[in-house]
Chain A
Amino acid sequence: MEPRRPPRTVSDPKVRQVGFVTPAAAPPARTVSDTAAMPAAGASQELPLSGSSLSPVMIPPPRHDGLSARVTALLPVPIAATALRLDNLQIRVGSYNQSEVLLGTPPMTSPSSRIEDAVSEFSDDVSASSLYGRTEPDKVGTAFPGRSGDLMPAKSVVAGGSIGSHTPENPPTASLVVKALPGITEKKRGMLEKQHDEAAAPKPLKEKTTKAERRALQEAQRAAKSAAKEGGGADPTNTKKDKVVKPTPQKKDVPEVAASSGKKVDRPLEKERKKEVLPLRMQFDDKHKVEKVKQRAIVNQREAKSRVEFFQRLPQYVHGTQLQELEAKFFQLDAVHPSVYKVGLHHLSGKITGGNARCIAMLLAFKEAIKDYSTPPEKALVRDLNAKISGFVSFLIECRPLSISMGNAIKFLKNRIAKLPLSMSELDAKASIQSDIDRFINQKIIIADKVIVRHAFAKIRDGDVLLTYGLSSVVEMILVYAHEHKKKFRIVIVDSRPKHEGQILLRRLVAKGLNCTYTHINAISYIMHEVTRVFLGAASVLSNGTVYSRVGTACVAMVAKAYRVPVLICCEAYKFHERVQLDSICFNELGDPDAILKVPTHVESYLYGCMDNDNLQLLNLNYDATPSDYVSMIITDYGMVSCNQLLIYCSVF
């Protein structure tokens, strides 16, 4: 089983990478690299590329996975005949079915119905077919119990199936997909519904179920629930469910049924996951939760003026009002230490930006706060201090959503505090935490950067033309270091509106006597001809190799890939995160929407006056996700790794 499932299956549904797909070449290319095989479509293109880039940058050879390669080769490109696909599918589904039954997932319905579904899906749209048509047993399997291609049930079922066998990052993936694309899934669901109806025409269904039928359904569900409680999702319940569902394949029932069967099976897992995921993704379009948070919040957050519907669940950008209100309440905030307050304001006003700088500032502020801390009587330092830190953190979140690096640092700090022995005196405990913080900053950030600089330095040769995007502290250090060590190279700084962070880098580098070219991201494809290496910073590297970084990075990386220029991501290991993210929509940070309106050369924006128009919604994203395919290598403090090996690092650190 393992060999057939390449570790990166997770990153597969890249169909949704909005905006970074070169229409002609991209889809086959992705299929190729995803399955880590070299089948028909993209092979001829792909091979020389990786071959050529191998020599300078030591790209690890793509995993040739005989078995899966053959299977995918068999797998037709979406245009091929349906019958063949069905066969393939059926075979594979069958073969995996067993294992999944063993694992206690809901077993499949009868093969015929499955195939019907498959037909409907494949005929539905190419993207979906390419999604499910790959060697992804779990996906194939899970897509079916949902039966209408609805992803909602698929999510929970995946969770169920993944208890034992799957790599641990699988369930979050599925849930991310679901959360990410409410619009798409809904649309697709609708389409599929139609298709399904057509495909399953002989079935005796019609729109309206009778009252009795609904009643029966309800009871069946109840029975299923109770049975599931007893038997932990045994087969009979599921078959019963299926029986019930069959006559009424309506949108409404399906998710409920599937969810109920899935939920019962893996309560604990679900819970665990919730605990892990929730704090990161508060759904800001969920009215109740928003209300709840508002009650807790220090300042009442105003509704952002024009919200882009797709991103409503993210914390909206409220700088304009937030800053004033926070400032006005300066003296009211008892619980927040002044130094933390200051850092929060700096984050909010954009005075401190960048993952490392923000993280260091936060840690130093925490250190100050811990220095001034004294345990209240009748309380344990461990608990009280942790609560206190939590208060600081929620304040910081209110100022600006935490970066992943900060999240990791907080996790580290809280862990250290929690592990303090109770017998330790307060002074010692405080000293120990403070030295821990110092050590974290030193080892994980400062020394890590130095190590990265050394590693990256080895990749710079005389005569190179290095391209960088935006402003990354590590990349800047690399460039300066290389310059100091008499490397002869030229730098292309690519920048973008509205922040123009590259200008700061440009100014610093030019001041140090480096030879620079400055351009904007719209010119990236013209300048890329000359470039021999691309160095990029990252806000985080996720465990599927996706690089989460300043918006625009994905574009640069993609163009670099198209021009066969190696892309090197420089990222400290403390920024790694075990999360999996497939696109930049499911999680992102919204910037100031008005910032994109301001064009520096014009006193007044062309859109001035349009801002109050309801038809205009402004979207300023801060980050994007670069798929691992565009990344040749990640340079971390533990050495240079390819995206494929990243998973190991993530789990180790």
Chain B
Amino acid sequence: MTRMDFEVVVLAGGASSNLSPLVSQELPKALLPVANRPVLSYVLELLEGSNLKDLIVVVEGEDAAQLVGGWISGAYADRLHVEVAAVPEGVGTAGALRSISSYLTANDVLIVSGDLVTDVPPGAIAATHRRHGAVVTTLLCSSPVSGPSDSGTSGGKEKAKKPVRHNIIGLDPTRQYLLHMATGAEVEKDIRLQKRILQAVGQMEIRADLMDAHLYAFKRTVLQDILDQKDKFQSIRQDILPYLIRTQLSSEVSRNGLVSSESGSNKSAVQDDLRWLSQHREIAPSTFQDSQPLSLKSQRDDQRSHKCCVYIANESKYCARLNSIQAFSDINRDVIGEASHLSGYSFSAQNNIIHPSAELGSKTTVGPQCMLAEGSKLGDKCSVKRSVIGRHCRIGSNVKIVNSVVMNHVTIDDGCSIQGSVICSNVQLQERVVLKDCQVGAGYIVTSGSEHKSESLARK
């Protein structure tokens, strides 16, 4: 039997266009290193910590699936029981689910996005889901305060292009039910709310400081029905979730859910019980019953409504999604900074992690909240602040690295200055390169003496 009647699907995605040039054919998004560990490992370890060891990981693209599968079987050989499923690229999250939905058997399905870095226990979402008997429960967390804290430049170019995006989330006064959800892209000037839902709750709380963390618990039957019936649906967030929220008072989905859960030999008695129970079950005044005008209607509609619930993560919990380059730097910074318990490393007295095999030249300083992985060499008079440096990097003398992420096997020659940048694996930076807020794709060679600012450098 599955644990607590829940099955877990991790949507690990594929090569995300948002994250180019960081991701590539060789490095799918799931394997992007965060503090020198693939980002997927954070989700897997979170699930493992919650005792969830039977997982389905869905990856877009055959190649990516092979890479991810290879990594998982190496890293979690005897700890987790993972099935990696490959789906064609570009089918979207809903499409990915559709292709595996026939394998699902448990009562509820927990769907986790593979790019989530959090310490919110998934059990909490699952338990909330169970407690409410909801059709869908989603994890909301406070949206990250984006932007590097002290690099001085307010974000990269992408940020400048797009206006500040707000997620609009409507909650009931008890903050248990999800009444409205619109992500930044959909919000133009006005929001449209459904009158019925507003009437039913009486009062709606609109929040712009919350974000959908892409951790959902779905009722399996409902999810499968939707996937079957609405074959145009592409994405969970943009299609399925809004659909469920929209139809929560006039639902066709919960019908079949009710029927299927009903069983027993003594049919009439059981039905009697259930009817009797349903009369008394909802004694605690739920929001939907609380409002006076709707009371009569809601009772009639009771059978025809389903619940969309939320679990709002505590402020003290860390929760972030790696869905942009900005997020990538932020998460890297946070994981070795304020959310250091997530990284799984033990910090030194100087509040940094320096692998014993790393070599530091004379007068080289590695500040707090830094990470230096195994086999990396730093020359003399280097300065590293708030940065992550990967394995087997060769860094010359007089190099300054601030607020940056340097992946594996990077060569940085003397006199370079790197600020707020991401440098992928196998990059070579020749002498006196100055980078500020740049992304350098894998294998790129930056010629000596060049200066770049807010650019994305990648091999053609």
A residues apposed to B, CB below 8 Å: 324, 326-334, 338, 341-342, 345-346, 349-354, 356-357, 360-361, 364, 372, 434-435, 438, 441-442, 446, 471, 473, 500-501, 503-504, 507, 511
Contacts and interface: CB of A to CB of B under 8 A. Distances in A.
Question: Chain A: interface secondary structure?
Answer: helix
Contact of A351 (B131, B265, B276): B131
Contact of B282 (A329, A351, A360): A351
Contact of A338 (B50, B124, B130, B276): B130
A327 B283 contact: no
Interface stretch (B205-213, B242-250, B266-274): B266-274
Contact of B131 (A331, A346, A360, A361): A346
A350 B284 contact: yes
Given A327-B124, A331-B51, A346-B131, A352 B5 contact: no
Interface in B44-76: 50-52
A372 B283 CA distance: 29
Contact of B5 (A334, A338, A501): A338
Interface in B274-331: 276-277, 279-286, 289, 295-296, 299
Given A327-B123, A329-B123, A345-B131, 5 more contacts: A331-B50, A349-B131, A360-B277, A361-B277, A442-B272
Contacts of A328: 121, 123-124, 127
B296 A327 contact: no
B1 A372 contact: yes
A473 B127 contact: no
B196 to A, nearest CB: 20
Interface in B252-268: 264-266
B123 A357 contact: no
Nearest to B285: A504
Interface residues of B, number: 40
A352 B283 contact: yes
A434 B34 CA distance: 52
| Residue of B131, B277, B282 ringed by the most chain A CB atoms within 10 A | B131
| Residue of B3, B6, B107, B299 ringed by the most chain A CB atoms within 10 A | B3
4 tightest A-B contacts by CB?
A: A330-B123, A327-B127, A330-B127, A328-B121
A331 B289 CA distance: 31
Contact of A503 (B1, B3, B126, B285): B285
B28 interface: no
Contacts of B296: 511
B131 A364 contact: no
B235 interface: no
Nearest to B52: A331
Given A331-B52, A342-B130, A372-B1, A357 B285 contact: no
A438 B286 CA distance: 29
Contacts of A372: 1
B364 interface: no
A511 B124 contact: no
Nearest to B106: A338
A332 B123 contact: yes
Given A331-B51, A332-B51, A351 B124 contact: no
A330 B51 CA distance: 9
A503 B292 CA distance: 11
A331 B283 contact: no
A341 B130 contact: yes
Contacts of B295: 507, 511
A349 B264 CA distance: 28
Contacts of B277: 357, 360-361, 364
A446 B280 CA distance: 13
Contact of A501 (B273, B283, B289): B283
B351 interface: no
Contacts of A434: 265
Interface in B1-31: 1, 3-6
Nearest to A361: B277
A338 B4 contact: yes
A331 B8 CA distance: 12
A354 B280 CA distance: 8
A185 B362 CA distance: 78
Contacts of B299: 511
B284 A471 contact: no
Nearest to B130: A342
A364 B5 CA distance: 17
18 contacts: A327-B128, A328-B124, A328-B127, A330-B122, A330-B127, A333-B4, A338-B130, A342-B130, A350-B284, A351-B131, A351-B286, A357-B280, A442-B269, A446-B273, A473-B279, A503-B285, A504-B283, A511-B295
A512 to B, nearest CB: 11
A435 B273 contact: no
A331 B281 CA distance: 25
A438 B131 CA distance: 24
Contact of B122 (A331, A334, A341): A331
Given A326-B127, A338-B5, A346-B131, A356 B280 contact: yes
B128 to A, nearest CB: 6
Contact of A446 (B6, B276, B281): B276
Contacts of B273: 360, 364, 441-442, 446
B354 to A, nearest CB: 34
| Residue of A332, A354, A372, A473 ringed by the most chain B CB atoms within 10 A | A332
A621 to B, nearest CB: 19
B126 A438 contact: no
A471 to B, nearest CB: 7
Contact of A330 (B1, B126, B272): B126
Given A332-B123, A446-B272, A353 B107 contact: no
A330 B124 contact: yes
Contacts of B51: 331-332, 334
A641 to B, nearest CB: 25
A394 B5 CA distance: 21
Given A338-B5, A446-B276, A351 B281 contact: yes
B122 to A, nearest CB: 7
B123 A338 contact: no
Contacts of B272: 442, 446
Contacts of B121: 327-330
A332 B121 CA distance: 11
Nearest to A330: B123
A473 B126 contact: no
Contacts of B130: 330, 338, 341-342, 345
B126 A331 contact: yes
A353 B123 contact: no
Contacts of A350: 284
A313 to B, nearest CB: 28
A341 B131 CA distance: 9
B17 to A, nearest CB: 34
Given A353-B283, A511-B299, A331 B123 contact: yes
Contacts of A504: 283, 285, 289
A611 to B, nearest CB: 20
| Residue of A331, A345, A441 ringed by the most chain B CB atoms within 10 A | A331
A471 B3 contact: no
B307 to A, nearest CB: 12
Given A330-B4, A446-B276, A511-B299, A345 B127 contact: yes
B284 A349 contact: yes
A341 B280 contact: no
A352 B281 contact: yes
B141 to A, nearest CB: 15
Nearest to A360: B277
Contacts of B1: 372
B395 to A, nearest CB: 42
B111 to A, nearest CB: 15
Nearest to A442: B269
A207 B210 CA distance: 70
A181 B279 CA distance: 40
Given A350-B284, A352-B281, A504-B283, A342 B131 contact: yes
A212 B295 CA distance: 79
Contacts of B270: 438
B50 A332 contact: yes
